[in-house]
Amino acid sequence: MSFARLSSSLLAAGLLFVGAAHADNDTTTRRGATLTELRNGFADGEHVGSLLSGPTCQDQSDRGWSQLLAKRVEAELPRAFEQEMNQFKGAQPLQVQAFVNKLDMQLCQAPAAAWKGSIQVQVGWQVVSPVDGHVVYRASTEGSFTLAKAQRMSTSAAMRAAFAQSVRKLAAEPRFASLMQDTRAINVASAH
């Protein structure tokens, strides 16, 4: 299924989550990219991980997609994206759409609000031409964050770290980097 068709299906199903930031015209504050849409395709209750507990993490319960997780994703992915893209100030601003394809949380609760475990994400990315609205680049990247020993840390911060790794991988893609450097690259890609 194409990204556009899936987006339409998600919109019809009420599963479209949009987070938008605006691009600043001032070149001193302009970012290398702006996240204009954020989507996911998870249904309420869909398995997205496991929550373990007990002294040896032997008691397991499923972690399902929920409105709370949706809000965390909607908050943490844009934050991670903005943090990582801030290092590209002055670059050609790109309009980027994100689609969260995978969220896998394997967490073990420990005493005193501590936890250990891992969070893995996979994000599909699309760069949209500001000239004609056509998609000029697609990529998919993964990110993860692991706590090997139980610590007191918010799972939101861990999720943001996993998303940040995914964003860094996107920024490292040669074609994405070339699009940020040169407006002509967007115009050429859009023409094809």
Mean pLDDT, the chain, as a whole number?
81
pTM (2 d.p.)? 0.79
Q: Which amino acid makes up residue 29?
A: T
Give helix 155-172 / helix 174-181 axis angle, nearest 10°.
80
Considering only CA atoms, which of 46, 40, 96 is closest in space to residue 70?
A: 40
**Banded model confidence at residue 6, pLDDT cuts 50, 70, 90:** very low
pLDDT at position 56: 78
Q: Map tokens 């504050």 to a residue.
A: 29
The arithmetic mean of pLDDT across residues 21-42, rounded, is 66
Cα 111 to the center of its chain, rounded Å: 30
pLDDT per position as a tens digit, 70-116? 999 999 999 999 999 988 776 677 899 999 999 999 999 887 788 99
Residue 174 burial (CB < 10 Å; 0-12/13-18/19+)? exposed
